[in-house]
Structure formats: C-alpha cells, structure tokens
Structure 1
C-alpha cells in the first residue's frame, strides 16, 4: 500500500521515533525510504561581512554536516536490504520544504515525530505538524512514543452518518488504511463513530422538546449507519463504538481505554482564517493522544503548496 516513505528527522530531538517507525514500516511494505532534514539559520542570511558565494559555501557546509549526522544516526539501526536516500535542504519554512520533497518524490506516506503543542502558541504560530495535516498531498503518520506491540489495537474514526459522497468516500479510505495497518501489525481493528449531543438551547426555548427521545433517535441512526458500513467491509460488530459527544473527547478516551497504538482519522485540510478559528478535528484529537495518528486525505486532494 505504501511504497515510497518520506521520513522527517529533527536534529534537535534526542529520540528519532519517526525513523524507527519508518524502518519497521519499510520492511513490512517493502518500501523505499527518503530521510529528510530541513535546516535554516537566519544569522547566515544577515552576515553582511560575507559575499554571496561565501554565504552559499557556508550553507553547503552546514548541509553536509547534517548529512553526516544522518549517516551516523543510521548506524544505530538495522538498515540491511533497505533502499535509503538522504535529502538535506536549506529552507526557512520547513513544512513547505517537506511538501515540495513529497510532491517531487511522489511519496505515498509522510512520517514525522510529534509532541504536544502549547495551545496559545499553536493559535499564533501554526506548528509544522498542523501545516502538514492540512496541506501534505499524501497520508501523514505522526509518531509519538507508544510502541506497536503484537496483537495490539487500532482505531478507525469515521462519520458513518454523513450522507454526502465526499464523507462517504473518506470513510472508505480511512477503513482501507486502518484495515491494512491492522493486518500488517496483526492488530484488532476498532471503529468509532461520534455524534453530537442535543443542543441545550432547544430544550430551553422549546419546553415540549424531548431531548431524550431526540438523542435516542440520533444514536439509533448513527448505530445503524455504522452497522451498515461494517457489513459492507465485513468488520466485526464487537469492535464498533457509537459515542455521544465531541470526537476530540471520545476518540482519545477510547484509545486510552483499549491502549491503542494507532488511530486512523480523516482530515479535510481546512486552511486560512477558518482553520485559525475552528481548527481541525484531527489536530484536536492528536493533541490528546499518546499514540500514533495516521491522517488520511480525501480522494483527489491537491496540496495548496507547490
């Protein structure tokens, strides 16, 4: 399913969890690896004492140093029989450099380590991870510290009640990716569908409005929709979860309850002012999880970054 893996390394991190995960995936998928590092130092651009050629030579020297660092890093892993390429680039916007490399190399999976972000900071300065979730042209696997044990648990998060073709198509892509990973890791696949609670203002403004009856009908609709989706995919009904509440609350709760190692979720790639105000469900979910997240893009998604 994944033949060309792009792995983003972070020289500032002691543990390269993404690399360890990528090497394991490359062996399972018989895929090639591209190890990518983006570097930039503003002080080199502002050095007026040096000529343009001298600055270029200094940048080239730093790039070679990073390549040597990657070579040294690889000695810690078993890389026998793996096809590995190393790319180090000088770029002031890492996410743009990553996406450009992804497009040029026609990579079908982007792998990067991640961590919890400061909430205020992430509103003012969108982290590289969020840019990649919104704009990368392929699925993005964000790696945390949770191991991938044998016979583990994987969660696919879907919106089974959606009636539009775009969401239905995305559901199928999520389930295909999750089922593939479950088979590769000999893991059990769980599917979760969240639905909203009844609006409180309806109960206040309309006294005769029966919220309990409304919620029962909504739950029934989502349960039947999820059951239908499971039947189409021959999935076990024992691992279907219909939860009332926000996805960013219910998905992490389930992941913790079953000690999941991977959550597969769709991302619509919302950008611009809307994203700054509302964010994306995938981003809110990732912040609360202690396991890896595989974010799947809609069919036909095109990156806004050239």
Structure 2
C-alpha cells in the first residue's frame, strides 16, 4: 500500500493554475502526507549586474526571493488552508534544485505540471521535465490538468518478455505501484506489454526465414510471460494486453482506448550507449501520452545530481 510521508509539488509561476499542486493535495488528503511546495526562481538579469557590488547583488537577489515567496504564499492559499511547507530556491538549473530539495525533504514523490501545446489534447515536456525523468531517483509524476475519477484505468507499462534482471525487477515494482494506486483511487489496473515486429530486412536477406513462424513464436513467448506475471498479481486476463508494435505506439494506443488516467512506466538508470537506447524508448513513450505519467526508477538508482 502507498505510504507517502512527504509529497513535493513543483510550482510553476508561468502557469495560470497549478495542476501538480492540486494532484499533490489530492494524494496528501488520501495518505495524510506532509505537503511541500517548491518554487525555483532565477532572474537572468542578475548575471548582467557585475557592475554592482556584492552587497547590491545580494540585495537584488533577496528582493526577488521575497517577492516570489509572497506570491507563493498567496497562490497556495487559493488551494488549501492546510499547512504546507513552502520552499523558494534560487537556481539557474531548476531540475538540480528539484532533485536536491526532494532528497533534503526525503520526499516520496515529486509532482510537476506539464504544459499544454496548441493542440489542447497534447502536452509539452520542457528540458527541465526530461532532466527530472532521467535523473531524479524519486518517483516523478508528470501531471496534466484533469480529474482522477473513481473506477478510472491505470496502465502499468511492463516488459514481461525481458531476460534482463533489472527490467524484471522493474516490472514487479511498476505492477506493485499500479495496484497500490488502484487501491488508493478505487481504479482498475491494466498491464500493457509491447513486443517487436519481425525485421523486414531479414526476409530479404535470408529468403528461407519464416517471418510468420517468428511472429507467432515471439507473440507466444510474450503472452506466456504475461500470463505468469498477471497470475502472480491476480489480475484477470481481460486487463492484460499483449500487442505487437513499438512501445510508444502500443502504450499510447492502449491509454487512448482505455481512457487511462495514469500510466506508470519504468526508466532504467544506466550509463553509456545502452542508456541512450533505453532512455530514448522511455521518453518516446512518455512523449506520446496525453495523461498523467508516473516515472519509476529501479531500486538502487543513483542520480548524477548530488
């Protein structure tokens, strides 16, 4: 069961509303967690004040921080009267301030709002969002401005066909968290697994290669592994989906067809060339979704931000 002690919401003073704080407040009310609201500010003109003395520069920075804290206090009062720890930090690299503050507060989850694109069904992920999703060891919930109704659908994006122990451990972690959220929100868990197409080039390069047999073998393998995984978690077959295709397309299609409120996805923490491929796959999945996304790291992940 979810046992959040501290929930941290990132406040964005460029947004008309604060969907991340609204969602954090909803979670805090369900879990009785402490709420932290973090606002990261930076005025680039500060870099242009080298003609000022050190005291004058510090006075300018303090004035900006005080003004922003006053705004934050007023903004939070629009949402709740309950106690909220307010933190305002001056940092040019917002994602680093967010990751460090989450560690300092021992936050169990970080929530951040995503921005609407011109197409209202779409969202835009900023460079700060991507850095958080890649580097934050704390689970990150990217929030879109919509409700979480009872009996909503929650997707756990898994890779049950993997032979990689780290991926297998992450499958279990994602499924556990999905079931916890379903219990908390009285929702329904759906497992979604994508498996690859047979490479078209193989049939050209190896005429005797039986692509149909290959397709059926891969499909059977993934279905068998899904059956094993779902049985362990006592999930009915109609809530377990094995589909051929790229993960970003399969997960997005299933999220749309199920009208999912939340998709939970793992981002494997690695370095080097393998991280580029694994990270890009996760990011393409996230970029294709138009609902809330909870990004989970494997146990033992160490952030490059210290």
Normalised to the residue count of structure 1, the TM-score between the two structures is 0.92
Aligned residue pairs total 298
Structure 1 residue aligned with 2:70: 68
1:1-306 matches, within 5 Å, as: 1-80=3-82, 83-115=83-115, 127-269=127-269, 279-306=279-306
Contact 1:145 / 1:290 at 8 angstroms: preserved in 2?
no
Matched residues in 2 for 1:105 and 1:25: separation? 17
Contact 1:267 / 1:280 at 8 angstroms: preserved in 2?
no
**Match of 2:168, SS?**
helix
Structure 2: any 5+ residue segments left out of the alignment?
119-124
**Superposition deviation, residue 271 in structure 1:** 5.9
Contact 2:268 / 2:278 at 8 angstroms: preserved in 1?
no
Matched residues in 2 for 1:257 and 1:77: separation? 32
**Superposition deviation, residue 103 in structure 1:** 1.3
Normalised to the residue count of structure 2, the TM-score between the two structures is 0.92
Contact 2:195 / 2:222 at 8 angstroms: preserved in 1?
yes
RMSD across aligned positions (CA) = 2.0
Matched residues in 2 for 1:255 and 1:60: separation? 45
Matched residues in 1 for 2:81 and 2:207: separation? 67
Structure 1: any 5+ residue segments left out of the alignment?
119-124
**Superposition deviation, residue 79 in structure 1:** 3.6
Relative to structure 1, the CA distance from residue 180 to residue 79 in structure 2 (aligned partners, 3 Å threshold; closer, same or farther) is: farther
Matched residues in 2 for 1:273 and 1:144: separation? 32
**Superposition deviation, residue 61 in structure 1:** 1.3
**Superposition deviation, residue 114 in structure 1:** 1.4
Matched residues in 2 for 1:35 and 1:271: separation? 31
Matched residues in 2 for 1:6 and 1:272: separation? 30
Cα shift readout 1:82-135 (whole Å, capped 9, x = no counterpart): x411111111110111111111111110110113689xxxxxx97111111111
Matched residues in 2 for 1:275 and 1:117: separation? 28
Relative to structure 1, the CA distance from residue 126 to residue 273 in structure 2 (aligned partners, 3 Å threshold; closer, same or farther) is: farther
Relative to structure 1, the CA distance from residue 271 to residue 39 in structure 2 (aligned partners, 3 Å threshold; closer, same or farther) is: farther
Cα shift readout 1:146-202 (whole Å, capped 9, x = no counterpart): 321111111000011112221111011101111111111111110001110001111
**Match of 2:115, SS?**
coil
Contact 1:117 / 1:287 at 8 angstroms: preserved in 2?
no
